[in-house]
């Protein structure tokens, strides 16, 4: 990772002051279940994402990462607490927030361009503007040449990039990503991570990024948030000083990140052993 990229990204985090200020305030979520017992998944989660910040959510399977992301997306309502984006309470999905899921769910019978245009079509945007925005979004993710190909004719990595372009086409202030690269093979995953890193440097969206990979979280994030389980709540936040990391000699950087990795792993192992269950993946 080049030093200048890290430095630039740190500057945008501290200086952007723009859109995408997310406040999660005392959020709890309880699901009613069929046999009469409620399941409390999240309790008292409070987290603030500054404009332009990339925050990763890590935690054992079932601790409520996707639930929290869906609450920020407006796809689920919290049982208690609230979420605001730029001061506006989230009550439903909106164009200020886009979601990228693990399963990118492109329409195979539409071309890449038509898939990217889709949210604009739903919003009633004129065809000319739609096409030009879709072209720009595909260019942003490095797929300018494949707009006329059907989604089914693209590789998995390309399809995930099209899904990212579709998420970006509405110019959301906040990008919500739920294990977006976990379906990719190791090499494609590395490439997609680098691309997200570069994209975040250029676009400065606020990003909430759910992952199971400690390496991925440490590599991409300004802050790593670990959720505990039963019920899910924040047990640790690690802020990464990207500028300082970028200024380090590579060996020192690796050593620093290695120590953080061990710390997070130990924490995850203790959460899992306390909970007594873990769905390994
Ligand atoms: N609609 C629902 N009704 C009842 N229980 C639900 C519902 N949605 C999620 N849950 C439960 O809430 C808990 C948290 O689910 P969630 O998908 O948020 O976990 P997660 O941390 O994203 O897990 P994973 O890492 O496996 O994706 C799980 O026990 C799940 O079964
Ligand atoms: Mg999940």
Q: Over the stretch 155-176, which tens digit does the pLDDT of each residue have?
A: 888 998 999 999 999 889 999 9
For the chain, what percent of residues have pLDDT higher than 90?
Answer: 67
In short, whether 66's Cβ falls inside 6 Å of ligand 1 is yes
Contacts of 118 (CB under 8 A, 6+ apart): 107, 110, 166
pLDDT exceeds 80 at position 13: no
What percent of the chain stands above pLDDT 70? 91
Q: Looking at residues 128-135, what average pLDDT do you find? A: 93
**Which residues neighbour 253 within 8 Å (Cβ) at sequence distance 6 or greater?**
245, 246
Class of domain 3-96+174-275 as given by CATH: alpha beta
Residue 36 has pLDDT above 80, yes or no: no
Question: pLDDT class for 222, splitting at 50, 70, 90?
Answer: very high
Please, what is the average pLDDT of the chain? 88
Is pLDDT at 140 greater than 90 in this prediction?
Answer: no
**Per-residue pLDDT, 166:** 93
Atom of ligand 1 nearest to the CA of 31: 4
Task: Indicate if ligand 1 lies below 6 Å from the C-beta of 31.
Answer: yes
Q: Whose CA is nearest to atom 6 of ligand 1?
A: 31
pTM score over 0.85: yes
Q: Which residue has a Cα nearest atom 31 of ligand 1?
A: 62
Residue 39 CA: distances (Å) to CA of 31, 63, 204: 5, 12, 37
- The residue among 137, 103, 101, 102 whose CA lies nearest residue 118 is 137
Ligand 1 binding pocket includes 205 (Cβ within 6 Å):
no
Q: Taking residues 14-43, what's their average pLDDT?
A: 84
Q: Tens of pLDDT along 171-215?
A: 899 999 999 888 888 888 888 888 888 888 888 899 999 999 999
Tell the residue nearest (CA) to atom 24 of ligand 1.
61
pLDDT confidence of residue 275: 72
């Amino acid at each position: 990772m080049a030093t200048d990229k890290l430095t630039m990204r740190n500057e945008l985090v501290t200086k952007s002051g723009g859109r995408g200020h997310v406040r999660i305030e005392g959020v709890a979520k309880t699901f009613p279940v069929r046999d009469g017992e409620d399941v409390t998944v999240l309790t008292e989660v409070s987290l603030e994402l500054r404009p332009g910040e990339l925050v990763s959510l890590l935690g054992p399977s079932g601790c409520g990462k996707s639930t929290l992301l869906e609450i920020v997306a407006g796809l689920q309502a919290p049982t208690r607490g609230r979420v605001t984006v730029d001061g506006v309470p989230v009550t439903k999905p909106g164009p200020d927030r886009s979601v990228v899921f693990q399963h990118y769910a492109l329409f195979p019978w539409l071309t890449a361009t038509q898939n990217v245009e889709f949210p604009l079509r739903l919003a009633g945007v004129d065809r000319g503007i739609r096409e030009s925005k879709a072209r720009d979004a595909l260019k942003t993710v490095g797929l300018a040449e494949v707009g006329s190909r059907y989604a089914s004719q693209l590789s998995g990595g390309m399809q995930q990039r099209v899904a990212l372009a579709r998420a970006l086409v509405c110019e959301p202030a906040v990008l919500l990503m739920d294990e977006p690269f976990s379906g990719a093979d190791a090499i494609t995953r590395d490439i997609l991570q680098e691309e997200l890193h570069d994209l975040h440097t250029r676009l400065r969206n606020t990003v909430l990024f759910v992952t199971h990979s400690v390496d991925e979280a440490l590599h991409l994030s300004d802050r790593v948030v670990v959720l505990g389980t039963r019920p899910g709540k924040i047990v640790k936040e690690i802020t990464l000083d990207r500028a300082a990391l970028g200024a380090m000699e590579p060996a020192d950087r690796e050593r620093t990140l290695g120590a953080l990795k061990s710390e997070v792993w130990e924490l995850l192992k203790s959460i899992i052993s306390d909970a007594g269950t873990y769905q390994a993946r």
